Structure 1
Amino acid sequence: MLSSVQDQKWPLVVIAGSKHSRKGRTVFAKCNIPRNTVVCDYHGELLTYDEGLLRYEQYGDNNENVYMFSFNYQGRNYWIDAVRQCRCHPKTRIKGRLLNHSMKTANVVPRIVLLNQLPHILFFAKQDIAISEEILFDYGVQRDRLSELQDWMLS
């Protein structure tokens, strides 16, 4: 697991264009993926809650292209900023940030895992995933309320 995060090599999935033009690039299964398998991670710069809020505000109203993940681990709030290319993988296309949202058909679930004494978000298959199936997770808000995400995160 740690080597996949460090190398950003996730052999079970591939980035490809979506058949739904509004989605753009997304992530698909390259093979059948068994339930409970680590699929990929949400990779980027780990920020404290205050640093994340400041960064989120700097990105402004263009939240269509903001790839930030907010989470709580052991009573501390963090953000992972995947907007900017990370320093550790400057030429790698990060797969986890391209996962699309679905409340009803999510097939992976994010889990917090401690690696090298730092929390990381890994996506685990919550069911068997078929080859060519799009990888989806529930962002935790309703699709029609995604525009309200900034207000929800700031409250």
Structure 2
Amino acid sequence: MRFSLIHGYGMYAREAISATEYVYEYTGAMVSQDEAERRGLIYDTRDTSYLFDLNEDAVLDALRCGSKSKFINHDGEVPNCTAKVVSVCGVHHITIWALRNIAVGEELVFDYGYKRSVGPDWSQRRAASKDSKDSSCYEVITGLLCQSPNYLMTHSTSSNNRRRNI
């Protein structure tokens, strides 16, 4: 983690990451959609937000508690990661996956799914003159095997099944 040219701090790869590889889990305090709306109004005045929709009822707020993945910045033009909501034993998790090979030292970025007229000002600084994006910026995966409590830390789609060193 270090200063980012995109916004505030960013998360950077400390080792090479292969395309389609599991990178990290986005964690935070689970709050209701109503509470997230209330917090979002406050966070917008601070030019920052770590809110992430988990499902139709809940949002993860990583402002005060959360993994380093809360520092993965937005890039709607050329993201190198994507977020996927996965269900493990009926519990939803937000996971971050590499879209392409990522080099050591490269900043990790994904598309937050902001529409140009809705996202905060900072999210649009790098935006080109493209039209609004569809809000379906992450994929929902269900039916994963419930093998262990740390399933997400030990399994990925690649042959490299160790936890990311980021």
So what's the TM-score if we normalise by structure 1? Answer: 0.66
Q: Label 1:129 to 1:144 Cα distance change in 2 as closer, same or farther (>3 A).
A: farther
Instruction: Provide closer, same or farther for how the CA distance between residues 60 and 38 of structure 1 changes in structure 2, counting only shifts above 3 A.
Output: closer
Partner of 1:122: 95
Partner of 1:17 in structure 2? Answer: 3
Q: Per-residue deviation at 1:121?
A: 0.6
Percent identical among aligned pairs is 28
3-state secondary structure, aligned to 2:40 = helix
Which letter maps to 1:17?
F
The residue that corresponds to 1:91 in the other structure is none
C-alpha change, 1:118 and 1:101, in structure 2 (3 Å) is same
**CA contact under 8 A between 2:85 and 2:93: conserved in structure 1?**
yes
Q: In the alignment, which residue of structure 2 is the partner of 1:95?
A: 68
Q: Any idea what SS the aligned residue of 1:97 has?
A: helix
The answer on whether the counterparts of 1:103 and 1:142 sit within 8 Å (CA) in structure 2 is no
Equivalent residue for 1:133?
106
1:62-77 matches, cutoff 5 A: 62-72=45-55, 76-77=56-57
- From the superposition, tell whether residues 133 and 143 of structure 1 become closer, same or farther in structure 2 (CA, over 3 Å): farther
Secondary structure of 1:140 counterpart: coil
**Is the 8 Å Cα contact of residues 44 and 120 (structure 2) preserved in structure 1?**
no
Counterpart AA for 2:25: D
Match of 1:111 in 2: 84
Residues 55-100 of structure 1, C-alpha deviations (whole Å, 9 max, x = no match): 334x36425122111243xxx33211111225xxxxxxx2111111
Return closer, same or farther for 1:43/1:60 CA change in 2, 3 Å cut-off: closer
Query: Deviation at 1:145?
Result: 4.6
Change (3 A) 1:104 1:36: same
Instruction: Tell me the CA shift for residue 48 of structure 1.
Output: 2.7
- Is the contact made by 1:70 and 1:80 (CA closer than 8 Å) also made in structure 2? yes
SS of the aligned residue for 1:23 comes to coil
Go from structure 1 to structure 2 and tell me whether the alpha carbon gap of 1:110 and 1:98 turns closer, same or farther (over 3 Å shift). same
Find the aligned partners of 2:43 and 2:101 in 1 and give their Cα distance. 38
**Which one has the bigger strand percentage?**
1
- Aligned to 2:85, the other structure's residue is in SS state strand
Instruction: Return closer, same or farther for 1:35/1:61 CA change in 2, 3 Å cut-off.
Output: closer
Please list every run of 5 or more consecutive structure 2 residues that lacks an aligned counterpart in the other structure. Answer: 124-166
Provide the rounded CA distance (Å) in 2 between the counterparts of 1:63 and 1:143.
Answer: 19
Higher-helix-fraction structure: 1
Contact 1:27 1:95 (8 Å CA) reproduced: yes
